[in-house]
Amino acid sequence: MSQDDKLRKQLRLQARRMKKAERERDSLLAQTVYLGTLGLLLVLPLVGGAYLGSWLDEQLPGYSVRWTVTLTLLGLAVGALNVYLFIRE
C-alpha cells in the first residue's frame, strides 16, 4: 500500500466521522431543554431552602434570619450537587 493510498484512506475515514458527527449533533431545542433542566436543578432547591428558612424564622421568634440564610446556602449546595451529578451522567 503506497503512501497516497494510506492518506486517501485516512481522509475518507475522517470525512465519514465528520458526517456522522454532523448527523448526531443535538438540535437547538434539545440544547435549550438541557440548559433549562440544569437551571431548574439549581434553582428549585435554592428557592425551596429560602422559603422553608423564611417560614421557620416566622415560626420561631427571636432567631431573625438564621434559618433563611442557613437553608438558602444548603439549597445552593444541593442544587450545585444536582447539576454536577446531572452533567456527569
Show pLDDT as tens, one digit a residue, over the chain (89 residues). Answer: 678 888 888 889 998 988 887 787 778 888 899 999 999 999 999 999 999 999 998 888 776 778 899 999 999 999 999 999 999 98
Predicted local confidence at residue 24, as pLDDT: 78
Predicted local confidence at residue 51, as pLDDT: 96
Question: What nine digits make up the cell of 83?
Answer: 447539576
Angle formed at CA 15 by CA 13 and CA 19, multiple of 5 degrees:
120
To the nearest 10°, the Cα dihedral for 63, 65, 68, 72?
-130
Predicted local confidence at residue 63, as pLDDT: 66
d(CA 47, CA 22): 39
